Structure 1
Amino acid sequence: MTAWISATGGRQEAEDRVTFDTPEPARLALEATVMTPLVHLGVLDVTGPEAETFLQGQTSAQVSLANGDFAPLTCFCTPKGRVLANAQLWRVAPEHYRLLMHRSLVPSLATHLKKFAAFYQAELSIRDDLALIGLLGREAAALAEVRLDITPPAVWHQSGNEAIQLLAHPGPRPRLLICLPADRAGDAWERLSAQATPVGNDVWRLHDIQAGLAWLDERQHDTYLPQMINWEALGGISFKKGCYTGQEVVARAHFRGQVKKRLVRAQLDGGLLPEPGSAIEDAQDKRLGEVLCTALDAYGEAEVLAVISTKDPDLPLRCAGQKLKLLKLPYPIERLDPETLAVQGNGTPAT
């Protein structure tokens, strides 16, 4: 993957971060169409005659809903209901499913799932040969259709073919994730660059934050219940399916209202980006929770997603020596059934 990124003029400064020399990239994304290599994300494939049956017993999604159109969020849990990885699931072809998650969790999830896959006709493959490109901005859909000859899907849906897939993600601007073979990424990048400006993947991460969408990484696995990252409010948990690992704990937390922490969106009063895991503290220096992810917005201020206690805090809040202001999430904290999203087919709750 690194070779094609170098050819674009990008610099991969870390395994999960790439930058370009484009000035004010976050501001540019509000006004124009931009694109970025999504090096912080990775892919795990599940294939075989019993791939669907195998996944059904392991994931929070109703796997049959991943039908080549709907591409639901999902998660994999421990028996105690803690999230090992949260992901997006889509079907590439019959007997071929694909999982998108933070790249640092792909190897550990593959190792975990292989213990169960041995009892099924199902195989797991870490897809280092695939590239992920993010296309973001008002003209993203039109650009993808013209340059890639693929009709863009609705949010949390997919389009394309076995070689290249488009996934639409929510955010303050239209967003498309392109998954394709790495040896074809350079050509796709060149075609898109006629009307899209390259930016670093921090811009995509900022829009994840503004969408209230947290991708856990290796530092956070086996830590939170799915509801603590608002996964049921995003349609990432099916409460209508049968058993899967951790299902009893997840269901009990939902039906008994026993979620003591929640994902929140917030802004700091400066440009210092706290490290993931940094404490969120109240006016009495009591730790309420911790930061999951951070990014600078178009005005140079730090925005964060954090998991904190659901109790009313003693204001003001602080993080890394900066005041922290809670912001409104773009969705209500209530159950959103993926079955509703799949049937409606437009990525928003039915009314």
Structure 2
Amino acid sequence: MSQEFAARHQLTFSENRLHGYPPAWNQPAFQQGFVSLLADQGLTLISGDDAASFLHGQISNDVERLPQNAVRRAAYCTAKGRMLASVLYWKTEQGIMLQMARDLQASTQKRLQMFVLRAKAKLADCNEQYVSIALGGAQAHAAVQSWFPELPADGEQRSNAAGTLIRQDGVQGLLRLIWICPVALADQAWTELSAQLAVCNSSDWYLSNILAGIPHIQAATQEKFVPQMINFELVGGVNFRKGCYPGQEIVARSQYLGKLKRRMALGQVATPDLAAGMDVYHADHPEQACGTIVNAENAGADSSLILFESTLADQEAGILHAGSPDGPVISLMPLPYAIVDVTRD
């Protein structure tokens, strides 16, 4: 997000996140219609004749058979199956676009570039070409209809001269959209959207992600999780029938050999001071952490919503504490999807 764009629209950013508005994620205005900015998400384009085949061999989901309008999640892993990044990807006229945490983009792009070798594939940073706008709610379709007359289906995208509109629902019937908007159109788009929809903090979007049970990897959690530990295959991030990619053997072994003993859960905690990467402790064995906070967002003056990873046994019985052995108690909440495991009868 350019400083000039922020200044023109009198927006306040901290760590690439829009802030300064009252929390809206649980307010009627959010359901009616909201708009925010995702400047903390980075964009990388992979172009060239071998773009699809190259990326197919690097991430945990299918790229070669990606339908034209589909949007998918994938893990980019180390050889040991630990997630270096979680990405959202889709086709464009230029190639395949990847969206991931901005604080991981440069290192991820550099690492991918190392494996291009003789493939006809080129990686390019696209952050100066687009503005990522988050919007949703009952009035969102009407607000974007002049640019996108028809909404994409959930999990799909529509692209035209106005950019790419991605639909990512999954929260109590709430329409949620990401508009990858060309910079040349961004001023007009923001002016019109902010006049029709309630402007909210970037954190409100991420709170809705947490409620949807959708994890994302950032610098604080890099290399901490195998995909299944954070339910990534349950949100469409792993294809177990595709070919090899870094870490594939470990990911497949975790799925089919033995039982998955660690999973991600959703919780509410009575403190605003939590962050991704913090430890989780069980009251019965406080001498050692039993898990890790995957994502955390301030949900109000005195509470947070978190996605956290821990042993299933510790989630099923006893009291869990966030941040320290005597930290605030985690109140478990139901995820919007079932924990289905081929490894657990």
Do the aligned partners of 1:157 and 1:168 also contact (CA within 8 Å) in 2? yes
In structure 1, how many angstroms separate the alpha carbons of the residues matched to 2:259 and 2:341?
14
User: Is the alpha carbon distance of 1:29 and 1:80 closer, same or farther for their aligned partners in structure 2, counting shifts above 3 Å?
Assistant: farther
Q: Matches of residues 106-121 of structure 1 in structure 2 within 5 Å?
A: 106-121=105-120
- Percent identity reads 28
How much does 1:306 deviate?
0.9
Corresponding residue for 2:225?
224
Corresponding residue for 2:185?
184
Q: Matches of residues 90-239 of structure 1 in structure 2 within 5 Å?
A: 90-93=90-93, 96-129=95-128, 130-145=130-145, 147-161=146-160, 163-172=162-171, 173-239=174-240
Q: Matches of residues 1-351 of structure 1 in structure 2 within 5 Å?
A: 1-2=1-2, 3-15=4-16, 17-20=17-20, 22-26=21-25, 27-93=27-93, 96-129=95-128, 130-145=130-145, 147-161=146-160, 163-172=162-171, 173-268=174-269, 270-284=270-284, 285=286, 286-297=288-299, 301-313=303-315, 314-320=317-323, 321-334=327-340
Do the aligned partners of 1:105 and 1:218 also contact (CA within 8 Å) in 2? yes
Do the aligned partners of 2:113 and 2:123 also contact (CA within 8 Å) in 1? yes
Question: Which amino acid in structure 1 is aligned with residue 61 of structure 2?
Answer: A
SS for the counterpart of 1:59 is coil
Do the aligned partners of 2:40 and 2:102 also contact (CA within 8 Å) in 1? yes
User: Is the alpha carbon distance of 1:79 and 1:274 closer, same or farther for their aligned partners in structure 2, counting shifts above 3 Å?
Assistant: same
SS for the counterpart of 1:36 is strand
Question: Which amino acid in structure 2 is aligned with residue 104 of structure 1?
Answer: D
How much does 1:300 deviate?
5.3
User: Is the alpha carbon distance of 1:257 and 1:140 closer, same or farther for their aligned partners in structure 2, counting shifts above 3 Å?
Assistant: farther
How much does 1:150 deviate?
3.9
Question: Which amino acid in structure 2 is aligned with residue 333 of structure 1?
Answer: I
Do the aligned partners of 2:162 and 2:185 also contact (CA within 8 Å) in 1? no
How much does 1:259 deviate?
2.9
In structure 2, how many angstroms separate the alpha carbons of the residues matched to 1:224 and 1:150?
40
In structure 2, how many angstroms separate the alpha carbons of the residues matched to 1:196 and 1:171?
20
Question: Any stretches of 5+ residues in structure 2 without a counterpart?
Answer: none
User: Is the alpha carbon distance of 1:266 and 1:29 closer, same or farther for their aligned partners in structure 2, counting shifts above 3 Å?
Assistant: farther
In structure 2, how many angstroms separate the alpha carbons of the residues matched to 1:29 and 1:271?
24
Question: After alignment, is 314-323 or 122-131 more displaced?
Answer: 314-323
Question: After alignment, is 258-267 or 82-91 more displaced?
Answer: 258-267
TM-score normalised according to structure 2 size: 0.90
How much does 1:91 deviate?
0.1
How much does 1:258 deviate?
4.2
Question: Which amino acid in structure 2 is aligned with residue 107 of structure 1?
Answer: A
Question: Any stretches of 5+ residues in structure 1 without a counterpart?
Answer: 337-351
In structure 1, how many angstroms separate the alpha carbons of the residues matched to 2:239 and 2:161?
26
User: Is the alpha carbon distance of 1:282 and 1:257 closer, same or farther for their aligned partners in structure 2, counting shifts above 3 Å?
Assistant: same
In structure 1, how many angstroms separate the alpha carbons of the residues matched to 2:65 and 2:6?
34
Question: Which amino acid in structure 1 is aligned with residue 85 of structure 2?
Answer: A
In structure 1, how many angstroms separate the alpha carbons of the residues matched to 2:67 and 2:242?
16
Question: Which amino acid in structure 1 is aligned with residue 155 of structure 2?
Answer: W
User: Is the alpha carbon distance of 1:328 and 1:257 closer, same or farther for their aligned partners in structure 2, counting shifts above 3 Å?
Assistant: farther
In structure 2, how many angstroms separate the alpha carbons of the residues matched to 1:74 and 1:305?
18
Do the aligned partners of 2:23 and 2:299 also contact (CA within 8 Å) in 1? no
User: Is the alpha carbon distance of 1:169 and 1:163 closer, same or farther for their aligned partners in structure 2, counting shifts above 3 Å?
Assistant: same
SS for the counterpart of 1:63 is coil
Do the aligned partners of 1:66 and 1:89 also contact (CA within 8 Å) in 2? no
How much does 1:30 deviate?
3.7
Q: Spell out, residue by residue over 1:187-242, the C-alpha distance to the aligned partner (whole angstroms, 9 max, x if none).
A: 11112123112111010010011011111111211221111111110111111111
User: Is the alpha carbon distance of 1:34 and 1:18 closer, same or farther for their aligned partners in structure 2, counting shifts above 3 Å?
Assistant: same
Do the aligned partners of 2:272 and 2:301 also contact (CA within 8 Å) in 1? no
How much does 1:29 deviate?
4.6
Provide the alpha-carbon RMSD of the alignment: 2.0
In structure 2, how many angstroms separate the alpha carbons of the residues matched to 1:300 and 1:232?
32
Corresponding residue for 1:348?
none
SS for the counterpart of 2:98 is strand
Q: Spell out, residue by residue over 1:101-152, the C-alpha distance to the aligned partner (whole angstroms, 9 max, x if none).
A: 111111111111111112200000111212100002122233222x423422
TM-score normalised according to structure 1 size: 0.88
Question: Which amino acid in structure 1 is aligned with residue 123 of structure 2?
Answer: L
In structure 2, how many angstroms separate the alpha carbons of the residues matched to 1:72 and 1:258?
26
Q: Spell out, residue by residue over 1:41-84, the C-alpha distance to the aligned partner (whole angstroms, 9 max, x if none).
A: 11111000110110111111111343321111111111111111
In structure 1, how many angstroms separate the alpha carbons of the residues matched to 2:132 and 2:6?
11
In structure 1, how many angstroms separate the alpha carbons of the residues matched to 2:209 and 2:65?
24
Tell me the number of residue pairs that the alignment of Structure 1 and Structure 2 aligns: 331
Question: After alignment, is 105-114 or 23-32 more displaced?
Answer: 23-32
